[in-house]
Amino acid sequence: MRTVYTTTLTVREQTDATAALDMVGTWIQNWYRRLRITIDWPTASTADFEITPKPHHRLSVKGRTLKNRPESVLLDLLWEYPDDYDQTLGWTVRLSAVYESIGLVMSLELAVRGRTFQIFPAGYQFGAPRLIRNVSRLRSTHIGGHPYHLAAELITAEDVDVLTSLLLNPTRPFPIVVVSRRLESDRPLVDANLLAENLAGIAKVFELSDRWAAYRLTEEIGKTLSCYAGAVRLYWPRFKKDDDQFHHRSWMPWMLKDEASINALFKEIVETVAEAAAFRHVEPFQVVDFVSWLTLRIVKNGEVLPETMPTRYSKN
């Protein structure tokens, strides 16, 4: 099994947190509705079922509460299904969400696996799950303590200071992708909003409004690390003005000459960022803490840890 996408989102306003929790059920229900299958979805605190919506599919949903924290709910989901185009491949989604009076923390992992042993290259496509795209549109969503919104932000010359400040912020947890515009047409070669959709939950996209914004960015961080004339650039966290220019990959205008090359750009950026996110993914403290209390309660009562306990948590 290979994890190809992970993210952790924090939603800080209660109304948004409630909406985000509801989005989980809507996401699953809509996915199966296209297959003309109806999924009944209970409230998070009472969820406790495992079903096989169709052959080779598995959906397990568990809602857990604690007596000493009655306002808190842990929703744990495990979802397995075959790939739409290659039935020898399968997908596994693991999602944990802790809902409290102060907000919600949601952690999601997407992995691909072989369903039969065959030594053959695995061709598959993936992007940010619709659930993550929807939650990323909520106004109080954060990643690693930083505000995060799905929409690509337009940066004028007057706004470059805001972009530069975020680029140089040593605590920034996510990559930034900057899309610039051609000098001749004042148009980008890449659809920044579509790119942002594909990178939801793992990167933030900005689009420079014109050449003057690009000039200001160049003044701020230097020509070798800037982005202009239709180029696209990926800025990793820990960015500094004296960084090696090749560490922060750029795609120049002549590399984006047609639809095929732009599609290749999308694929490369998404896979590069998603791979980095998957390697460094850490289960949120709120989820680990909740499961620790739950495990302590079960052991203290002399009960056996249920098989439905998330396998990625320690049972020691």
Would you tell me the crossing angle of helices 160-168 and 211-221 to the nearest 10 degrees? 40
- In the chain, domain spans: 2-143+283-287, 151-272
What percentage of the chain has pLDDT greater than the value 90?
Answer: 74
What percentage of the chain has pLDDT greater than the value 70?
Answer: 94
Q: Which CATH number fits domain 151-272: 3.40.50.300, 3.40.190.10, 3.40.920.10, 3.40.30.10?
A: 3.40.30.10
Summarize pLDDT for 135-171 with one digit per residue, the tens.
999 999 999 999 999 999 999 999 999 999 999 999 9
H/E element holding 281?
none
pTM to 2 decimal places: 0.90
Q: How far is residue 71 from each of residues 58, 135, 153, 271, measured CA to CA in Å? A: 29, 21, 36, 38
CA dihedral 15, 16, 17, 19 (to 10 degrees): 90
Residue whose pair of structure tokens reads 């297959």 in the numeric block: 35
State the average pLDDT for the chain.
91
Residue 153 CB-half CA count within 13 A: 18
- Contact of 61 with 95, CB cutoff 8 Å: no
Q: How far is residue 199 from each of residues 67, 92, 246, measured CA to CA in Å? A: 38, 19, 21
- State the average pLDDT over residues 115-120: 85
Q: Which DSSP letter does residue 137 get?
A: T
